[in-house]
Amino acid sequence: MTFMLDKVVPWGRSFTEYVDMFALSDDDLGKHILGCGDGPSSFNCICTRKGGHVVSIDPLYKFSAAEIQSRIKDTYAEIIEQTAKNKHEFVWNTISSVEQLGAVRMAAMNDFLSDYEQGRKQGCYIESQLPNLPFADRQFDIALSSHFLFLYSSQLSEEFHVESIYELCRVATEARIFPLLELGSKKSRHLQKIYDILQQAGFTVSIENVAYEFQKGGNEMMRVVVD
């Protein structure tokens, strides 16, 4: 599938949001982490600055910083407008307004942009996509998927989800996925089936409450451990 920048809406969360979404402890942050579909989030940049070891993959990384920045500029106002229209779908306590949301996201994306070209040269940002990753078995301790799996359940099939989660569990000893909601703040239509499939395949699967909720009802993470 060709990945066209003009179809992409680049939007990235912050390091702090990743820590809360995935309940990452200080011990976790010292491990080898793979971020799948990290887009223009600042998780990699800030974690690396703090001495961590993160590799991010995303089809978006075929583009230069200037191209991604220009696309952010083109789509930013539209995303903010859409969020304002659907304000009732979100919880406004940590982030208290649409304006603050814009500022938090923009700060995260600027951190990403300032790190991206150098990080790409060092292999921290790799152009790749689920369900096939260019890594060895168990190369990472933890694989994260933020706002990709489950969120796009109406576009991505159950089969795609299963293949992708198996792949995360091939390259890492543990996978964490957040949120478990699809767009529209409804529980993912694939969640129960995938939970059962993973359990039957012998993985230890749990659904855990986390200290992060922005989409209403989106305060749960799936943890899949490879025994």
Between 42 and 198, name the residue whose CB sits nearer to ligand SAM: 42
In terms of CB distance, is 103 or 196 closer to ligand SAM? 103
Query: Does 59 help bind ligand SAM (rule: CB under 6 A)?
Result: yes
CB-nearer residue toward ligand SAM: 196 or 211 = 211
Decide: is 39 part of the binding site for ligand SAM (CB under 6 A): yes
What's the closest the beta carbon of residue 36 comes to ligand SAM, in angstroms? 5
Distance CA 79, CA 84 (A): 9
Q: Binding of ligand SAM at residue 119 (CB under 6 A)? A: no
Number of residues that bind ligand SAM (CB under 6 A): 17
Helices (H) and strands (E) in the chain, counts: 7, 9
Among 20, 24, 38, 68, binds ligand SAM (CB under 6 A): 38
- By CB under 6 A, is residue 54 in contact with ligand SAM? no
HEC states along 47-69? HHHCCCEEEEECHHHHCCHHHHH
- CB under 8 A, 24+ apart: contacts of 163-168: 163/130, 163/131, 164/36, 164/130, 164/131, 165/194, 165/198, 165/224, 166/131, 166/201, 167/130, 167/131, 167/132, 167/133, 168/34, 168/36, 168/130, 168/143, 168/224
Evaluate whether 190 touches 161 at the Cβ level (below 8 Å).
Answer: yes
The distance of closest approach from Cβ of residue 227 to ligand SAM in the complex, given in angstroms and rounded to an integer, is 25
Minimal CB distance residue for ligand SAM: 39
What angle do the packed helices 65-85 and 98-121 form, to 10 degrees?
A: 160
For residue 59, say if its preceding peptide bond is cis, omega within 30 degrees of 0: no
CB of 143 to ligand SAM, least distance (A): 11
Using the contact rule CB under 6 A, the part of the chain among 45-53, 57-65, 200-208, 218-226 near ligand SAM is: 57-65
- Which one of 54, 111, 140, 147 is in contact with ligand SAM (CB under 6 A)? 147
- Under the binding rule (CB under 6 A), the answer on residue 180 touching ligand SAM is no
Among residues 44, 48, 69, 129, which is the contact residue for ligand SAM, using CB under 6 A? 129
Parallel, antiparallel or unpaired: strands 140-146 and 32-36: parallel
Question: Where along the sequence are the contacts to ligand SAM (CB under 6 A)?
Answer: 8, 11-13, 36-39, 41, 58-60, 129-130, 146-148
